[in-house]
């Protein structure tokens, strides 16, 4: 089992309130949340430091040429089929109610109910 140590940490009152709110919404203790935040942030910093140290030992132009060579080796994507494309349909017809709705909805009916139901997009 891992040994633990007690650490007293002073934080601004606003941060403490935010942390308490987050613990309630996540359903975890403040200790668990703080450990999670510290672990994830430290892991990210360590990973960035490792990448930076490895890159600093490399020649940038050599790295760029290697990346370009890799990207050039990627096969070209086939064009997206017409049926799979998203088209913007902005026209009067797009926003008008369907024919069946226009036939059953009269002006007097709209006046009686005062609420007009707009068709979904």
Name the pLDDT band for 77 (thresholds 50, 70, 90): confident
Kindly report, residue by residue over 92-108, the tens digit of the pLDDT.
455 455 555 444 444 44
Question: How far is 121 from 108, CA to CA, in rounded Å?
Answer: 25
pTM: 0.49
Q: How much is the pLDDT for 82?
A: 82
Average of per-residue pLDDT across 42-65: 93
Task: Kindly report the three-state secondary structure assignment for every residue of 38-56.
Answer: HHHHHHHHHHHHHHHHHHH
Is residue 89 very low, low, confident or very high in pLDDT (cuts 50, 70, 90)?
low
């Amino acid at each position: 089992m891992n040994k633990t140590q007690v650490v007293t940490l002073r934080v601004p009152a606003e941060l403490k309130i935010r942390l308490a709110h987050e613990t309630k919404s996540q359903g975890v203790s403040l200790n668990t949340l703080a450990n999670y935040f510290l672990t994830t942030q430290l892991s990210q910093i360590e990973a960035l430091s490792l990448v930076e140290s490895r890159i600093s030992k490399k020649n940038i132009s050599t790295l760029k040429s290697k990346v370009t060579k890799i990207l050039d080796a990627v096969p070209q994507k086939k064009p997206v089929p017409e049926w799979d494309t998203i088209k913007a349909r902005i026209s009067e017809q797009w926003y008008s109610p369907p024919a069946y709705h226009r036939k059953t909805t009269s002006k007097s009916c709209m006046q009686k109910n005062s609420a007009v139901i707009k068709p979904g997009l």
